[in-house]
Chains A and B, each alone.
Chain A
Amino acid sequence: MKTIKNISVAFALSFLAFNCSSDDDNNIVENMEPDFSGTFMQQDQMGRPAVNTVFVSGSSKDDFNVTIPSEQNAAFQSMFQANLEGLSPAFANAGDKNALQQDAATFTGLLATDVLNVSLDGTTTFYDGTNVLTGRNLTDDVITVELLLIFGGEDFTENPQFSNDNVSANDKDFLPSFPYLASPW
């Protein structure tokens, strides 16, 4: 049992390091404590799947990764909308909406703040036909959901050749218990 409860991390780590040592030399203990010092600067970030890859133009992809979520909408929503309207015939005409009844501005206004909304009160899913954006399960077919919302039009029937990649499940079964992900290949 490797729990750390109500004691300082420094003490806990010293204790663990002490157990690694074959003698009582405190210098060895101190030398073995992990160093957690320093400032860590942002490299990459992600909330919802495929947002940066789909909606952010190539020259802005690095910039998107170092823009904090609370400032992403102001910085990127108009780019998202232009790229959506350029990409999808289902959003090419004024008044076009997706099956969530969102027009291009509303849809990209949601996506431009790249955070994952998660319910703490029950079903968690990206989209299951009833619940929308209450989390992301391993089994959620997020790409088809996004393709349908991008290309599928008001009733998911437009552009069927683009709105489903016809890969609906992982190549290995997930586990019912922790750590949930399948063992590596």
Chain B
Amino acid sequence: MKNLKRVLGIGVVAAASVFILAADHIDAPAVQGGTSDITDFYAFQAENTNNLVFVANVQGLISPSATADAAFDESVLVEINIDTDGDNIEDMVIQAIPRDGKMYFFGPVAPSQTGLNSTIATTATNTGWVDITTYGEAAVTETNAMGMTFFAGPRDDPFFMDFAQYSAIIAGTADGFNDPGADTFAGSNVMSIVVEVPKSMIGGSGTINTWVESKKK
């Protein structure tokens, strides 16, 4: 245990910088609470171990009573970036964009340009689409000829954390976590995009670096 007095200084740091700890929910002023606010990103080996799964969630903290009215924004592109050669620059993207009740997917495909601005890769050979699942409906999924599987729609927020107690610690009104803690995200939903893709389409073996972006027209 080192320098515990510094703990008392946490509140000062927090007040200066508005420390808010969540996965990426409401992380920055320009996006928080909007349709382009990314809440979480996951990448894991699929049930079929030849495949990898990407999960990109947006629009966090949707209450059950508000979920039927929640919708993806047709002006917001969600782009999964994949770096296969270790330079942290995307070599491939998987793009997801909603149109009229369907989520359309393009890629994995080399982007026309890397970085902050994107156009949709409508000439990609790897494409697919899935009806956006509505609230209360069983999950609608589609698998394309290349073996990619798609989902888009509301889901339980998979993130869990005692965010309220962390906030109290940061604010200086609590001196530690409770045991057991309370999951601040329990009972709330997100808008979720799930893509399962054969590993052979994203490098095959080794390590990739991946991140998700939301981009607005």
Give chain A's interface residues, CB within 8 Å of chain B.
2-6, 8-10, 12, 34-47, 49-54, 57-59, 61-62, 64-66, 68-70, 83, 86-90, 92-93, 96, 113-125, 134-138, 141-143, 153, 158-162, 164-172, 174, 176-185
Contact = CB atoms under 8 A, between A and B. Distances in A.
B160 A180 contact: no
Contacts of A40: 76-77, 79, 117-120, 215-217
Contact of B4 (A2, A65, A89, A184): A89
Interface in B145-190: 145-146, 149, 151, 154-156, 158-162, 165-166, 169, 175-183, 185-189
A62 B104 contact: no
Given A3-B128, A34-B104, 4 more contacts: A40-B77, A45-B214, A46-B41, A65-B31
A119 B205 CA distance: 7
A88 B89 CA distance: 31
Nearest to A43: B36
B44 to A, nearest CB: 4
Contacts of B10: 87
Nearest to B37: A44
A160 B178 CA distance: 11
B2 A90 contact: yes
Nearest to A171: B186
B98 to A, nearest CB: 9
Contact of A159 (B1, B179, B208, B217): B1
A44 B67 contact: no
Nearest to B5: A89
Please give me the 6 A-B residue pairs with the lowest Cβ-Cβ distance, nearest first.
A161-B176, A40-B215, A61-B28, A179-B151, A166-B181, A34-B99
